[in-house]
Structure 1
Amino acid sequence: MTTTLREIDLNLLVVLRDLMQTRSISATAVRLGMSQPAASNALARLRTTYANELFVRAGNTMQPTALAMQLAAPVEEAMVLLQSTFAQREQFDPAHDTRLFNLAMTDVGEVYFMPRLIAHCARHAPFVRLKVIQTSGPTLRQDMQDGRVDLALGPFEDMPGSAYQQRLFDQSCVCLFRSDHPFASHPPTTVAEYRHARHLFVANAASPYVEIQQRMEKAGIHASRGDQVSSFLSAPFVVATSDCVVTLPFKLVEQFARPLGLVWIHPPLRLPTLSTHCFWHRRVHQDAAHAWLRAQIMALFGETRD
């Protein structure tokens, strides 16, 4: 009857390999950090598995049988191959590795993170590739669990307990408008003045941005009464050529204000602070390549609290 791998304790092969090298039960026990009775028991189990003595005593040594001699080379090759899998997990050479990382982020995150991150990798890990996947909510959680997403960067909420996280930065939301807008010379100092402006909203915004709009709704600034776009990325271009003002995360405003000649102010309205984190699944927590990428992201974008 054929023996299957499920029926074998692979630790026994370690004992077999060391016995081939030491030809001694006691020396093998010392080498493997086990008691001599445990080593003797392992040999007994090997004999049962292979239906062969494997080693017979000859004076002060244990001499291998013909079958043990035949097993020596394939067992050694198997041990080397298994050991190499751990080496692959533990080693990462950014100068030569060709790893592909799938990163989940919003369109806002893509504008903020990717230019600097790609440029950094081009200098320090020229063969590493980055791919952005826009996903959120339950889909993101499942994608991380199944390995379709390596890292998630953003203000994502309701992440699973199996996810690790590291805070990158906090950011406020600011009001953006064109440079010759009335707010540029006379910034609003009250909620009433702020409410009087023509506001642009991003429709279908995901949490936690929806909390910003909810706070504005409570202040009487209603999305249903304003103009709406479907993407954060189009909002700066709209306000650049209109009388609209738009309330956006500061990191996004930083990217567009100067190129489009826009001006921003802090609104006279208390709005929630957005916290951006790096998330990853515990499955890849000890992976050397992932650890390297997380360290680069933290060095590039991590900010300490005052």
Structure 2
Amino acid sequence: MKNFRHLDLNLLRVLAAIHRTRSVTAAARALSLSQPATSNALARLRGFFEDDLFVRSPKGLVATRACEAVAPQVEAMLRELESLVAGPQAFLPAESDIRWRLSLSDLGEMMFLPPLVAALREQAPSTQLVNLSVAAEDLPQVLEAREIDFAIGILHPRQRGIHADLLFSEEYVAVSSPGWAPRKGGRTRTRLTQEQLADAHLAVAAPAATFHASVEQMLQRLQITNRVAVRARHFGALADLALGSDLLTIVPAMYARDLQRRQGLRTWTLPQAAAARYDVRLVWHTATAQDPAQVWIRALVQKLFRRGVATPASGVSAARRSR
């Protein structure tokens, strides 16, 4: 029985070249070898396979049956190996059927998914997009395991190997029904006082996926957590809660603008002492940093959603920035 470990794998390149050219001389030229070296390699191949492999004919070398059983597969495997070593091919979005996996919270689905899907349907219509909502604390491990490709959200990654690109920064605001007004301290046009906020009954959301706990921290800082009448897991219910009650909801400004446009809810600026900003970032793992398909989808996300960022952090490791 032949022992594969005893075979010099460089000989397989010679086998494939002679099979392709039907000539030792032509194979030597293709491999940039001397003819004696190529003849010596053929002799070693014959010894290993215990077969002539090639016999002479008026039209050049003809492969034996044993050679024909091996050489075509060797050629195919060498081509595949060369392609692998050469690196990934250019990504052609119009021709790709790749399946991208991302993590978005429920608010992220509402805000980011429609424009992203619309762009993909136009530019990469055969691709697929799947949201696998991941808890923020689990995100680094899930990215490293390649269970998802990227995430968009209110994220502050610090782990080594995780890259983050700041898309935009905004503040939280309060949203109410059109007829709601603060009971204390006089009515202002758009900004609530700290006293008015402390007097209101609140509804807040704290989804686990791609979300930061800055709202809860703000409530604790102002010592008004007892004013929270409803804590929802998702943002989707907050608009109906505000419309159908006297509850004041605290939401990201981007969502408030959408609610004001679609449902006519009223937006209030929070008092300065309650101001809480949030950063929305695109996050991915260094293992996908150079992948052409991943580079393309990240560039699309950045084009669609980046705004008001003076010095983008694209490609900079969050772990290095936190040192």
TM-score bucket (shorter structure): 0.7 to 0.9
Q: Answer whether contact 1:240 1:261 (CA < 8 A) is retained.
A: no
Q: How many correspondences in the alignment?
A: 296
Deviations 1:103-128 (A, max 9, x none): 11111111111111111111111111
The CA deviation at 1:286 is: 2.6
* 5+ residue gaps, structure 1: 56-62
Of the three residues 297, 302, 309, the one matched with 1:293 is 297
Q: 1:199 aligns with which of 199, 202, 214?
A: 202
Q: Secondary structure at the match of 1:299?
A: helix
Cα separation, partners in 2 of 1:9 and 1:258, compared to 1, 3 Å = farther
Q: Distance in 1 between matches of 2:158 and 2:79?
A: 39
Query: 2:149 touches 2:284 (CA, 8 Å); kept in 1?
Result: yes
**Residues 284 and 73 (structure 1), Cα distance of their counterparts in 2 relative to 1, 3 Å cut:** same
Secondary structure of residue in 1 paired with 2:235:
coil
Is the alpha carbon distance of 1:49 and 1:125 closer, same or farther for their aligned partners in structure 2, counting shifts above 3 Å?
same
Describe how 1:111-126 pairs up with structure 2 within 5 A: 111-126=110-125
The equivalent of 2:307 in structure 1 is: 303
Matched, 1:214 2:226: no
> CA separation of 1:265/1:292 partners in 2, compared to 1, >3 Å: closer, same or farther?
same
Residues 198-231 of structure 1, C-alpha deviations (whole Å, 9 max, x = no match): 2222256678532222122211221x33211322
280-289 or 227-236, which moves further after superposition? 280-289
| Partner Cα distance (2:107, 2:46) in 1 | 64
Q: Give the 3-state SS of the residue equivalent to 1:92 in structure 2.
A: coil
Determine which of 247, 264, 267 is the counterpart of 1:264. Answer: 267
- Kept in 1, the 8 Å contact 2:171–2:276? The answer is yes
2:283 and 2:128 map into 1 onto residues whose CA distance is: 19
With over 3 angstroms needed to count, the CA separation of the structure-2 counterparts of 1:238 and 1:112, relative to structure 1, is: same
Instruction: Tell me by how many angstroms 1:287 deviates.
Output: 2.4
1:273 to 2:277 alignment:
yes
Cα offsets for 1:245-281 (capped at 9, x unmatched): 1221112222222211112132113434222222223
Change in 2 beyond 3 A, CA 1:117/1:26 = same
In 1, are the aligned partners of 2:191 and 2:269 still within 8 Å (CA)? no
Alignment of 1:3 with 2:3, yes or no, is yes
Give the aligned partner of residue 141 of structure 1: 140
State the AA in 2 paired with 1:279.
V
Amino acid at match of 1:275: D
Residue of structure 2 in register with 1:96 after alignment: 95
2:298 alignment partner AA: R
Distance in structure 2 (CA, Å) of the matches to 1:45 and 1:164:
50
Decide whether aligned partners of structure 1 residues 48 and 284 sit closer, same or farther in structure 2, where only a CA change above 3 A counts: farther
Please report the TM-score for the alignment, with normalisation by the length of structure 1: 0.77
Give the letter for the 1:124 counterpart: Q
Matches within 5 A, 1:42-191: 72-84=71-83, 89-158=88-157, 160-183=159-182, 185-188=188-191, 190-191=193-194
3-state DSSP of counterpart to 2:303: helix
> 2:57 maps to which residue?
none
Distance 2:38 2:229 in 1: 77
Is the Cα contact below 8 Å between 1:28 and 1:39 reproduced in 2? no
Cα distance, 1:26–1:235 mapped onto 2, change above 3 Å: same
Say if 1:102 and 1:151, in contact at 8 Å, map to a contact too.
yes
TM superposition score normalised by structure 2: 0.73
Q: Following TM superposition, by how much is the alpha carbon of 1:66 offset from its aligned partner in structure 2, in angstroms?
A: 6.8
CA contact (8 A) 2:99 2:129 kept: yes
- The answer to whether the 8 Å contact 2:52/2:64 transfers is no
225 and 144 in structure 1: CA distance in 2 versus 1, 3 angstrom threshold: same
Q: Would the alpha carbon gap of residues 207 and 279 (structure 1) be closer, same or farther in structure 2, given more than 3 Å must change?
A: closer
Check 1:87–1:42 CA distance in 2 against 1; reply closer, same or farther (3 A cut): same
Structure 1 stretch 129-138 or stretch 160-169: which is displaced more? 160-169
Paired position in structure 1 for 2:255: 252
SS in 2 for 1:172: strand
From 219, 226, 229, the equivalent of 1:227 is 229
Residue identity matched to 2:228: G
Between the aligned partners of 2:99 and 2:124, the Cα distance in structure 1 is: 11
